[in-house]
Amino acid sequence: MARRQSPSRHYGITGNPNYDGRPFTDFSSVTPETPLEKLNLNWRECDLPERERTKHVHRLHPYLGKFVPQLVEIFLRKYQPRTVCDPFCGSGTTLVEANSLGIHAVGCDICEFNCLLTRAKLANYNLVLLQRETREVMERLQLSLESPLFRKETADYLEKASGYLRTWYAPQALYQLLYFKTLIQDCRYRELFQVVLSRAARSARLTTHYELDFPKKPQREPYYCHKHRRICQPTHEALRFLLRYSEDTLERVEQFSQLRSNASVQVLCGDARKITFPPADMVLTSPPYVGLIDYHEQHRYAYELLDLPMHQAEEIGSASFGQSQTAIQRYLEDMTQAFANVMRSLRPGARMVIVVHDRFHLYEDIARRLGCRIECRLRRHVNRRTGRRAADFFEDVIVWQVP
């Protein structure tokens, strides 16, 4: 295992890079001749605003650990694959960007919700039918919830809910979510509505506004909100979120439909160490980091509401495994196995682009084990991450060439 290296002088005492140079934002100008080492990828909010980083379907649902779509675009334009593979596709960023550029794509993820979210983003929608289904679901929802008779049925909905759901949701919010679930069962675009349901459930939880990413315990009393700097109330209903996110989802799908190509997309739900990948010309991925995120747990509300199977034990680098030497070694072995497996589907000389926080300097060792040549390694400062963060955060962008 490589030793930890001291920060480059370029980053100064705090680790912040020098922002005197203008960050690169002319993404469509990238060609195979573009020199990667000369690109300044240290984007600030003023350089790459949040509305651009979360354009169209990239914002269908919050997702921790999602990488910047513009970063994906740079490398797709640089290497111009016919088919790109993301063995840790997460929320589908690589697949969405590839499709918008007319590139065939295949993605894989161990998490069932991630696969559902990716499929929903990339489905080929009949917009007239989607608009009609959205309108009908919203009308039925509002009419039913306003009816006095509906109040008598709420006990049945709550009784069927899991202990997790009854703990993290106020009764009114929970029965609104569960009733919405019954309304969408027969919809043609049920998976898209399931994403709306999950997004609303995330916002309607009994948690503080500043702990949406990592809620510690149900919040049932008024509290001082560090996000809004005032006293806030716990959330007791979900209807407003269901209505708002239904409209927002429809708008984002319509926006992406103007960019969506006929390039093929495959979403495989399974273990990247074992699954059989179809042929591809390139890998572009942001794999899990060591002991940082529990990918099932961050969307636990979705698994509970949608009755999705969980495969937590098969996650690579889960936060529950920690960052001990044993956990780091386990991550090293697992990630080597996963990349070795996906390499079987690549042609000789293909590139693998990996965006990762290589805090423990493992990826040089992984490349050596795989026999890959490290063609390029960039370090970029990430200064726009959401949530409360006390220290600077960096990503490594590593390009391997397979033998």
252, 59 contact by CB (below 8 A): yes
Q: Residue 63 corresponds to which tokens in the numbers above?
A: 């997702």
pLDDT of residue 78: 98
For residue 59, give the nearest of 199, 172, 230, 233 by alpha carbon: 199
Q: What is the spatial distance between Cα 34 and Cα 337, in angstroms, rounded to a whole number?
A: 32
- Which residue ranges does the chain devote to CATH 3.40.50.150? 9-123+264-401
pLDDT of residue 16: 53
pLDDT of residue 154: 64
Q: Residue 50 corresponds to which tokens in the numbers above?
A: 């949040």
At which residue do the structure tokens 């949406």 appear?
212
pLDDT of residue 160: 79
pLDDT of residue 5: 39
If DSSP codes are grouped into helix, strand and coil, which group holds residue 105?
strand
Put simply, whether the predicted model's pTM sits higher than 0.85 gets the answer: yes
**How many Cα atoms occupy the beta-carbon half-sphere of 363 within 13 Å?**
26
pLDDT of residue 289: 93
| CB-based burial, 375-403: b 16+ in 10 Å, e otherwise | eebbbbbbbbeeeeeeeeebbbbbbbebe
Low-confidence ranges of the chain (pLDDT < 70): 1-20, 146-156, 384-391
Q: Does domain 9-123+264-401 have CATH number 3.60.70.12?
A: no
Q: What is the spatial distance between Cα 136 and Cα 131, in angstroms, rounded to a whole number?
A: 9
